[in-house]
Amino acid sequence: MNNDNVKELEDLVELSEAVQSMHEDGLRDNIVKDIYETAEYITKKVVTKKSQRKADIHKKVDDILTSRILGYPIMILLLGIVFWLTITGANYPSQMLASFFFWFETKLTSLFMYMGSPEWLHGILVLGIYRTLAWVISVMLPPMAIFFPLFTLLEDLGYLPRVAFNLDKLFKAAGAHGKQSLTMSMGFGCNAAGVIACRIIESPRERLIATITNNFVPCNGRFPTLIALSTIFVGGLVTSRYSTLAATSFVTLLVIFGIIITLVVSWILSKTILKGVPSSFTLELPPYRKPRIGRILYTSLIDRTIFVLGRAIVVAAPAGLVIWILANVMIGDMSILNHLAALLDPLARTIGLDGFILMAFVIGLPANEIVVPIMIMSYMSKGTMLELESLAQMKELFIANGWTFVTALNVMLFSLLHFPCGTTLWTIRKETGSFKWTLLSALLPTAIALAVCFIVAQGARLLGLV
Amino acid sequence: MGLTCESCGRGVLKKKFNLKCGEEYVIALAGNPNVGKSTVFNELTGLRQHTGNWPGKTVVNARGNYDYKNMKFLLMDLPGTYSLLANSVEEQVARDFICFGKPHATVVVVDATCLERNLNLVLQVMELTDNVVVCVNLIDEAERKGIFIDIRELESELGVPVVATVARDGKGLEELKRRIFNVAVGIQTPSSRKMKYSERVEEAIREIEPKIDKLLKGKLDARWVALRLIDGDKTIVDAIHEHVYYEKAIEIDGRR
């Protein structure tokens, strides 16, 4: 019995080798062709097509949106429109919220005075926690409440897969996976969510590339920073009539710069430590769908806006407390905050920042949302007391502390490129299961941020701009 | 019913695919990627699912249970593939399960909006087994695009039961379960359309099919194996080695 089986198998192997010559003259192609022809024959018999104008319109729209020439400009234009609506729309409610919160702060202060509470308690609760929260909410809430519904609308319409289709070629050329553009889009919402979305990439090599580079798209925690700074510094460069347009274009440029960095880093990674060939995949474009307004508002406002804001508040409240303590506990004749800032100052200066800014980024590790509030608080604690009720006053505060256009540019670049926030790092650790890759995901962006800011700062210095 | 692994010759299911094959019918679920296969799977099995890996492969496998007419059904979700020509690990896994696992029925989920491309897989599955049920999914989306499919005509062309569904809304799934039941239990014996190839291929088949039949003695469909060899499929001999001669092969190794 056993011998028979051995014989059978050996004969089979022999037979298969004998047949080898057969398929060399194209029999394999014949088999496939025959199957295709049969499928075509059956399809013709059972399928009737009524020329539906709707399907034709879909195809025409797709031809335009994913065309070689128009694809990218349309993409950039749409991105620009979304930012423009966000910046224009967020300005007024932001100021309203801010003035409301600071009106309420004076009431709170009077209440504390009336109750005769000690100075430090008022400091911690009102100037520390409350003020930070007020800033986070009034700066973040309005842009998010506009940006997220718009982004969800594009998602619901079916535009995002077209973005992936457009970018597919670029990512392939960078040795990465086409789906990376989708995980990148998720990163606009939240980098931690973007990192989790990398699961859709099957190949471990390409998944790692997507994970490490996800940080280069600004999440909503960094958008308000970019939007606020480009509104006051870039928008301020031109006449007020074009200031929104200038600010919008600049934020769009920053995002494109982030995407270019993503591609460059992906390419470098795929040529060095993550060598390999990009795996192919078939991207199917789903049909355009009529957006469901109710669902868009629900997912964008409840799932995203409130969720992100809630997280920011949870992180910002204790951070406000810590910063107030750092700013008010004195060692010698300087606060701890000033000591730390002085320590970081030399490094910060070479990359066009100052000690307070760099420290804000470091302390802001738990959440990017609180970086600007930390800067404001630390500047204010130096004695430059200001009632911060509008972006204009924020600009005055920054300029009073030695900011120039180049400083603002470097802050934006650093914010775009620096290490991911604590939540994202923790997610990377969980997703990759490796401390080594997590460390690289933190160090690589930081090194790039330092290098880019160094080049910009030194370049500006050489050109005599500062 | 008295249906066991041994009695139905499905011992290989237990051995190779880690299936607990008791008094239940094993149904394979195949289909191209993005045709709503997972939706069909989820709608049929609900929360009674397990996931794991295919033995020795880094391909995820999902299986789930459902009951119909007091019978237990075990649904195996095969990887989404465009063909069974073993070009990738996924295609190999799907092929091996249908070929060597011998499920009681194989459901092929197809996308109504692009039937032609999906039929390639249906034709290839039907070369392996007669017990096929075709599930034409996304029928609503197709109609919106102006594509209408004559289900009865498709059924007579293919020779196997065809069910139109909108899995997302649960439409047509009762009918699908009924047709799966009929095929699996043997109430209905489909006679699936067999591919006829062009003369050069048929000639090659005629040349080697008898030799293969002599070797395999009906353990596998000789015509199909002949086609694979003509195809130049490197994996098929290994697969036969592994699945058909598995135990014996180990003894041989031990003796040498």
**Distance between B1 CA and the closest CA of chain A, angstroms:** 33
B33 and B122 share a domain?
yes
Closest CA to A30 of B21, B197, B135: B197
CA distance B67 to chain A (A): 32
Task: Say yes or no: B56 and B172 in one domain.
Answer: yes
B187, B25 in Cβ contact below 8 A?
A: no
Same domain, yes or no: B156 and B51: yes
For residue B191, being part of any structural domain is answered with no
Domain stop point among B138, B163, B185: B185
Q: Is residue A337 predicted with pLDDT exceeding 90?
A: no
Q: B223 with B114, same domain?
A: no
Looking at the structure, tell me whether residues B73 and B108 fall in a common domain: yes
**pLDDT, mean of residues A193-218:** 86
pLDDT band at B48 (very low <50, low <70, confident <90, very high): low
Query: Does B4 reside within a domain?
Result: no
| Rounded Cα–Cα distance for residues A428 and A435 (Å) | 9
Rounded to a whole number of angstroms, the CA Rg of chain A reads 28
Q: Where in the sequence is the domain holding B233, given as residue range(s)?
A: 199-243
Check CB contact under 8 Å for B230 and A2.
Answer: no
Residue with tokens 């430059």: A384
The pLDDT assigned to A2 comes to: 52
Q: Which is nearest to A451 in space by CA: A259, A265, A225?
A: A265
Q: Which token pair is B34?
A: 């993005």
* Beta-carbon separation of B237 and A12 below 8 A: yes
Is A287 part of the contact surface with chain B (CB cutoff 8 Å)? yes
- Residue B160's nearest CA partner among B183, B186, B127 is B183
Q: Do residue A43 and residue B229 have CB atoms under 8 angstroms apart?
A: no
Pick from B229, B240, B252: which is nearest to A19 by CB? B229
A199 vs chain B: nearest CA distance in angstroms? Answer: 13
Conformational region of residue B70, where left means phi above 0, alpha means psi within -120 to 50, and beta covers everything else: left
d(CA A420, CA A429): 12
- Same structural domain for residues B49 and B74? yes
Residue A36 pLDDT: 87
For residues B232-247, average pLDDT: 71
pLDDT at B2: 33
Lowest-pLDDT range of A303-307, A379-383, B184-188, B213-217: A379-383
Would you state the pLDDT for residue A54?
62
Q: What is the spatial distance between Cα B157 and Cα A45, in angstroms, rounded to a whole number?
A: 9
> How many CB pairs (< 8 A) connect A and B?
133
**Chain B residues touching A3 at Cβ < 8 A:** none
Judged by average pLDDT, the poorest of A142-151, A380-389, B145-154 is A380-389
Could A35 and B195 be called an inter-chain contact, meaning their C-beta atoms sit closer than 8 Å?
yes
Residue of chain A whose alpha carbon sits nearest to that of B124 = A35
Name which of B157, B204, B251 is nearest A45 (Cβ-Cβ).
B157
**Are A49 and B147 in contact (CB < 8 Å)?**
yes
Closest CA to A428 of A413, A443, A414: A443
CA–CA distances in Å: residue A70 to residues A63, A81, A251, A254:
9, 16, 21, 21
What is the total count of domains within chain B? Answer: 2
Is the pLDDT at B7 greater than 50? The verdict is no
Q: Which whole number is the average pLDDT over B33-54?
A: 76
Among B185, B211, B226, the domain boundary falls at B185
Nearest CA in chain A to B35: A284
User: CB distance A5–B215 less than 8 Å?
Assistant: no
Question: Residue B160 corresponds to which tokens in the numbers above?
Answer: 């196997």
**Of the segments A39-48, A140-149, A192-201, A449-458, which one has the largest average pLDDT value?**
A449-458
Count Cβ atoms below 10 Å from residue A20 Cβ, excluding itself: 12
How high is the pLDDT of residue A374? 80
Q: Are A265 and A212 in contact (CB under 8 A)?
A: yes
Same domain, B213 and B176: no
Report the share of chain A in percent with pLDDT over 70: 88
Judge whether A57 is closer than 8 Å to chain B, CB to CB: no
Q: What is the CATH number of the domain that holds B49?
A: 3.40.50.300
Q: Is residue B1 part of a domain?
A: no
A391 close to A232: Cβ distance less than 8 angstroms: yes
The percentage of residues in chain B with a pLDDT greater than 90, rounded to a whole number, is: 6
8 A C-beta contact, residue B241 and residue B219: no
Which residues in chain B are contacts of A20 at CB distance < 8 A?
232
**B190 domain-assigned:** no
pLDDT band, residue B245 (cuts 50/70/90): low
The residue-averaged pLDDT of B136-160 equals: 87
Contact between chains at A9 and B119 (C-beta distance less than 8 A):
no
pLDDT tens digits along A123-178: 788 877 887 788 778 777 887 788 878 877 887 787 877 887 788 888 888 888 87
Sign of CA dihedral B21, B26, B30, B36: negative
| pLDDT average, residue stretch B207-229 | 80
pLDDT value for A384: 43
Provide the phi-psi class of B17: left if phi over 0, else alpha when psi is between -120 and 50, else beta.
alpha
Q: Which residue has the higher pLDDT, B61 or B52?
A: B61
Is the CB of residue B202 less than 8 Å away from at least one CB of chain A? no
CA Rg value for chain B: 18
> Do B70 and B126 sit in the same domain of this protein?
yes
Question: Considering CB atoms only, which of A28, A38, A282 is closest to B232?
Answer: A28
Say whether pLDDT at B248 is over 50.
no
Please indicate whether, in this complex, the C-beta atoms of A15 and B208 are within 8 angstroms of each other: yes
User: Residues B209, B149: one domain?
Assistant: no
pLDDT tens figures, A407-440:
999 999 999 999 998 888 988 988 888 899 999 9
The reply to whether B194 falls in a domain is no
- Asked if the structure places residue B161 within a domain, the reply is yes
Q: How confident is the model at residue B1 (pLDDT cuts 50, 70, 90)?
A: very low
User: DSSP letter string over chain B?
Assistant: ----TTTTT-HHHHHHH----SSEEEEEEEE-TTSSHHHHHHHHHTT-EEEEE-TTSS-EEEEEEEEETTEEEEEEEPPP-S-SS-SSHHHHHHHHHHHHS--SEEEEEEEGGGHHHHHHHHHHHHHH-S-EEEEEE-HHHHHHTTEEE-HHHHHHHHTS-EEE-BGGGTBTHHHHHHHHHHHHHTSS---PPPP---HHHHHHHHHHHHHHHHHHTTSS-HHHHHHHHHHT-THHHHHHHHHTSHHHHHHHHHH-
Q: From A38, which residue of chain B is nearest by alpha-carbon distance?
A: B195
Mean pLDDT of A381-394: 60
> Which of A399 and A18 is assigned the larger pLDDT?
A399
A8-12: average pLDDT: 69
Pair B170, A80: CB distance under 8 Å: no
Residues in A closer than 8 angstroms to B110, CB to CB, are none
pLDDT greater than 70 at residue A466: no
**Has residue A3 got a pLDDT over 70?**
no
What is the three-state SS of chain A?
CHHHHHHHHHHHHHHHHHHHHHHHHHHHHHHHHHHHHHHHHHHHHHEEECCCHHHHHHHHHHHHHCCCCCHHHHHHHHHHHHHHHHHHHHHHHHHHHHHHHHHHHHHHHHHHHHHCCCHHHHHHHHHHHHHHHHHHHHHHHHHHHHHHHHHHHHHHHCHHHHHHHHHHHHHHHCCCCCCHHHHHHHHHHCHHHHHHHHHHCCCHHHHHHHHHHHHHCCCCCCHHHHHHHHHHHHHHHCCHHHHHHHHHHHHHHHHHHHHHHHHHHHHHHHHCCCCCCCCCCCCCCCCCCCCCHHHHHHHHHHHHHHHHHHHHHHHHHHHHHHHHHHHHCEECCEEHHHHHHHHHHHHHHHCCCCHHHHHHHHHCCCCHHHHHHHHHHHHHHCCCCCCCCCHHHHHHHHHHCCCCHHHHHHHHHHHHHCCCCHHHHHHHHHHHCCHHHHHHHHHHHHHHHHHHHHHHHHHHHHCCCC
Task: State whether the Cα torsion A345-A351-A354-A357 is positive or negative.
Answer: negative
Q: How far apart are CA A128 and CA A106, in angstroms?
A: 14
Nearest Cβ partner for B195 among A20, A38, A43: A38
Query: Is B216 within 8 Å of chain A by CB?
Result: yes
Q: Determine the distance in angstroms separating the CA of B175 from the nearest CA of chain A, rounded to an integer.
A: 20
> In chain B, which residues have their Cβ closer than 8 Å to the Cβ of A1?
248
User: Among B185, B220, B251, where does a domain finish?
Assistant: B185
Beta carbons of B238 and B212 less than 8 angstroms apart: no
Q: Do B146 and A19 touch (CB under 8 A)?
A: no
The answer to the question of residue B253 being in a domain is no
Does a structural domain hold residue B3? no
Residues B101/B10, Cβ–Cβ less than 8 Å: yes
